[in-house]
Amino acid sequence: MTSSSIVANSLRQLQDNKGEGISSSPYLMFKFSTRSEITRKYYERRIRLFLDFIEFDLENKTNIEKRCNGFAFKGGSEKNWAVEQIVKFLQFQ
Protein backbone atom coordinates (compact mmCIF):
# COMPACT_ATOMS: atom_id res chain seq x y z
CA MET A 1 0.00 0.00 0.00
CA THR A 2 1.46 3.36 -0.97
CA SER A 3 1.60 6.32 1.36
CA SER A 4 -0.88 8.23 -0.80
CA SER A 5 -3.40 5.39 -0.56
CA ILE A 6 -2.92 5.27 3.23
CA VAL A 7 -3.59 9.01 3.43
CA ALA A 8 -6.64 8.69 1.16
CA ASN A 9 -7.96 5.79 3.23
CA SER A 10 -7.40 7.71 6.48
CA LEU A 11 -9.19 10.77 5.10
CA ARG A 12 -12.07 8.59 3.97
CA GLN A 13 -12.33 7.15 7.49
CA LEU A 14 -12.32 10.65 8.92
CA GLN A 15 -15.20 11.62 6.66
CA ASP A 16 -17.06 8.46 7.73
CA ASN A 17 -16.57 9.60 11.33
CA LYS A 18 -19.75 11.71 10.83
CA GLY A 19 -17.99 15.07 11.11
CA GLU A 20 -16.62 14.40 14.57
CA GLY A 21 -13.20 15.52 13.40
CA ILE A 22 -9.74 14.09 13.65
CA SER A 23 -9.31 15.01 17.30
CA SER A 24 -12.18 12.68 18.23
CA SER A 25 -10.24 9.59 17.19
CA PRO A 26 -6.75 9.12 18.60
CA TYR A 27 -6.33 5.89 16.65
CA LEU A 28 -7.04 7.60 13.33
CA MET A 29 -4.58 10.32 14.28
CA PHE A 30 -1.94 7.63 14.93
CA LYS A 31 -2.77 5.86 11.69
CA PHE A 32 -2.70 9.10 9.71
CA SER A 33 0.67 10.12 11.16
CA THR A 34 2.37 6.76 10.53
CA ARG A 35 3.12 6.56 6.84
CA SER A 36 4.81 3.18 6.69
CA GLU A 37 2.48 0.23 7.03
CA ILE A 38 5.33 -1.86 8.44
CA THR A 39 5.99 0.74 11.15
CA ARG A 40 2.29 1.03 11.94
CA LYS A 41 1.95 -2.75 12.29
CA TYR A 42 4.98 -2.81 14.61
CA TYR A 43 3.50 -0.14 16.86
CA GLU A 44 0.08 -1.77 16.79
CA ARG A 45 1.68 -4.98 18.12
CA ARG A 46 3.40 -2.99 20.89
CA ILE A 47 0.16 -1.16 21.75
CA ARG A 48 -1.74 -4.47 21.83
CA LEU A 49 0.92 -5.89 24.18
CA PHE A 50 0.50 -2.88 26.48
CA LEU A 51 -3.29 -3.04 26.47
CA ASP A 52 -3.24 -6.79 27.11
CA PHE A 53 -0.78 -6.33 29.97
CA ILE A 54 -2.98 -3.78 31.73
CA GLU A 55 -6.03 -5.92 30.84
CA PHE A 56 -7.80 -3.00 29.21
CA ASP A 57 -11.04 -3.68 27.30
CA LEU A 58 -10.46 -7.41 26.83
CA GLU A 59 -13.96 -7.77 25.35
CA ASN A 60 -12.72 -5.96 22.21
CA LYS A 61 -9.39 -7.78 22.09
CA THR A 62 -9.50 -8.07 18.29
CA ASN A 63 -10.44 -4.42 17.67
CA ILE A 64 -7.29 -2.38 18.29
CA GLU A 65 -8.98 0.84 17.18
CA LYS A 66 -11.69 0.64 19.86
CA ARG A 67 -9.15 -0.30 22.51
CA CYS A 68 -6.78 2.56 21.62
CA ASN A 69 -9.54 5.12 21.53
CA GLY A 70 -10.99 3.81 24.78
CA PHE A 71 -7.63 4.04 26.55
CA ALA A 72 -6.99 7.54 25.19
CA PHE A 73 -10.41 8.84 26.25
CA LYS A 74 -10.21 7.23 29.70
CA GLY A 75 -6.64 8.48 30.13
CA GLY A 76 -7.75 11.97 29.20
CA SER A 77 -10.21 12.09 32.05
CA GLU A 78 -8.27 9.92 34.52
CA LYS A 79 -4.68 11.06 34.10
CA ASN A 80 -3.37 9.44 37.30
CA TRP A 81 -4.79 6.08 36.22
CA ALA A 82 -3.13 6.36 32.81
CA VAL A 83 0.26 7.25 34.31
CA GLU A 84 0.00 4.34 36.77
CA GLN A 85 -0.73 1.91 33.92
CA ILE A 86 2.18 3.17 31.85
CA VAL A 87 4.62 3.04 34.79
CA LYS A 88 3.44 -0.47 35.68
CA PHE A 89 4.08 -1.58 32.08
CA LEU A 90 7.51 0.09 31.98
CA GLN A 91 8.49 -1.67 35.20
CA PHE A 92 7.41 -4.95 33.64
CA GLN A 93 9.57 -4.24 30.61
For residues 79 and 76, give the distance between their C-alpha atoms in angstroms, rounded to a whole number: 6
Tell me, what's the pLDDT at 9?
Answer: 59
Q: Which pLDDT score is estimated for 32? A: 86
Name the residue range of residue 47's domain. Answer: 3-92
pLDDT of residue 40: 92
Query: Within the chain, which residues score under 50 in pLDDT?
Result: 3, 19, 22
Q: What is the pLDDT of residue 4?
A: 53
- Residue 16 pLDDT: 56
Chain-centre distance of CA 93, in angstroms? Answer: 20
What values do phi and psi take at 34, rounded to 5?
Answer: -105, 100
* pLDDT at 1 (0 to 100): 53
* Whole-angstrom distance, CA of residue 46 vs CA of residue 28: 17
Supply the pLDDT for residue 77.
92
Residue closest to 85 by CA, chosen among 71, 70, 69: 71
- Number of folded domains that form the chain: 1
